[in-house]
Amino acid sequence: MITKFIIKEFSLDLQDIDSNTFLTPFLDIIRSDETSGPITCLALNAVNKFLSYGLIGIDSIWRFWKFALFSLFKDTQSESAASAIDKVANAVTHTRFVGTNPNDDEVVLMRILQVLRSLLLSPVGSKMTNDSVCEILQSCFRICFETRLSGK
């Protein structure tokens, strides 16, 4: 009985945690030039799911009211979302990985494009800076005009 109370009392919802906290390990993998393409691809998939499920940002009604009541003068959730989304944009546009197989490398590049697309289309994408949007577009053009791609 006491154990259930303690677990219930201290349980956290993932949306209560600062986005930067759970994104940092994935972004570190994406930025690392020592990880292989498939591992980078998995980290990109995770970040894409965080974006798709609305875990980065201020989508939830409950979160809106919570922060509207507790931070009347400073919108900390919005600042956290803007910071997180810019960190994601920076990490994905500067993705580095060890190329092993040309086919696997193309899959990683496709995942990069998918995450960049999700960034631009997600509701929290409106919090991105102009520099981040410009970097995203430049990265997309760089990938599209990559000469090593198979052209399929």
User: What's the whole-number mean pLDDT along residues 52-76?
Assistant: 54
> Residue 119 — left, alpha, or beta (φ > 0 → left; ψ -120 to 50 → alpha)?
alpha
Instruction: Output the CA angle 25-80-108, nearest 5 degrees.
Output: 40
Whole-angstrom Cα distance, residue 56 to residue 77?
Answer: 10
- Confidence tier at 64 by pLDDT (50, 70, 90): very low
pLDDT of amino acid 15: 57
pLDDT of amino acid 71: 46
Tell me which of 124 and 11 has the higher pLDDT: 124
pLDDT of amino acid 146: 77
